[in-house]
Amino acid sequence: MLKSIFEFFAPAPGDAAPQAHRLRQATAALLFEVLRSDHEIGAAERDAALAALREHFGLDAQAAEELIALAAHEVPRANDHFQFTSLLNRHFTQPEKERVIEWLWRVAYADCRLSAHELNPMRKIAGLLHIAEPAYIAAKLRAKEDAE
């Protein structure tokens, strides 16, 4: 278990920016956690997660797909969200973390319905990222409005 997590956070061979690589992976892991939380990985939700990765990190479609595939492999093996959120807490500004929460909401609302199963990881992740309630609700409302 521990070895796979260390491998998860290890930079890709030839990656000139290992810290950026780890931040991309941690963000992808959180997106995947919400993506899988309702036990259905729909195309709309997957597309929302991929769009978030492409938008924030300037990735091409293939790189975003590879990050989601890596997250799909590693997230089920993780004990909790802390290993991902702690990395974002150390390196993302508060507005960046609030943007991550908005992306997570966009994934949750991408299929035009919010499952009770999606609320649990959303609340946990927001707490671990130290997102204040007003910012959490504002992100939720923006994502819901965009989904409608």
DSSP per position, the chain = -HHHHHHHHSPPTT-S-HHHHHHHHHHHHHHHHHHHHTS---HHHHHHHHHHHHHHH---HHHHHHHHHHHHHHGGG-S-SHHHHHHHHHHS-HHHHHHHHHHHHHHHHTTS---HHHHHHHHHHHHHTT--HHHHHHHHHHHHHHH-
Q: How much is the pLDDT for 6?
A: 44
Q: How much is the pLDDT for 78?
A: 85
Mean local confidence (pLDDT), 24-32? 93
The CATH number of residue 126's host domain is: 1.10.3680.10
Q: How many CA atoms lie within 13 A of 86 on its CB side?
A: 5
Q: How many domains does the chain have?
A: 1
**pTM, full prediction:** 0.83
Contact 31, 104 (CB under 8 A): yes
List the structure tokens of 59: 């990735």
Query: In terms of pLDDT, which residue wins out, 100 or 11?
Result: 100
pLDDT in tens, 129-142: 999 999 999 999 99
Q: How much is the pLDDT for 17?
A: 61
User: 14 is in which domain, residue-wise?
Assistant: 2-147
Q: Check whether 15 has a pLDDT greater than 80.
A: no
- Tally the residues of the chain: 148
For residue 99, how many other CB atoms are within 10 A of its CB?
17
